[in-house]
Amino acid sequence: MMLIIITCSSIDAAIPGDRNVIKIESEKILKYKDLIIEIQRIWIMKTKVIPVIIGETVAVSKALRHYLSNIPGKERN
């Protein structure tokens, strides 16, 4: 018997007017915490939130590259 693990990704993007991207990034993760727990409990699948926050002044968090690499699909140059 082969076990297939399905992953559910929730992508939330924002462009805040200030430089406080780390605060907004953590707010996005906390915002979806209950939803992730429910999806994992009901549908029994791996779930993750991918916050993509780019400040109006092009400020980004250090974790942005990691989050972007978690988005499935082909990378275009």
How confident is the model at residue 77, as a pLDDT?
62
pLDDT tens digit sequence for 10-60 = 899 999 888 789 999 999 999 999 999 999 999 888 899 999 999 888 888
Residues near 10 by Cβ (< 8 Å), separated by ≥ 6? 32, 35, 36, 47, 48, 49, 50
Strand segments (E) across 1-77:
7-14, 46-53
3-state DSSP call for residue 27?
Answer: helix
Joined together, the tokens standing for residue 10 give 């929730």
Joined together, the tokens standing for residue 27 give 């707010």
Cα distances from 61 to residues 20, 33, 73, in angstroms, run: 9, 20, 22
Query: pLDDT confidence of 3, banded at 50, 70, 90?
Result: low
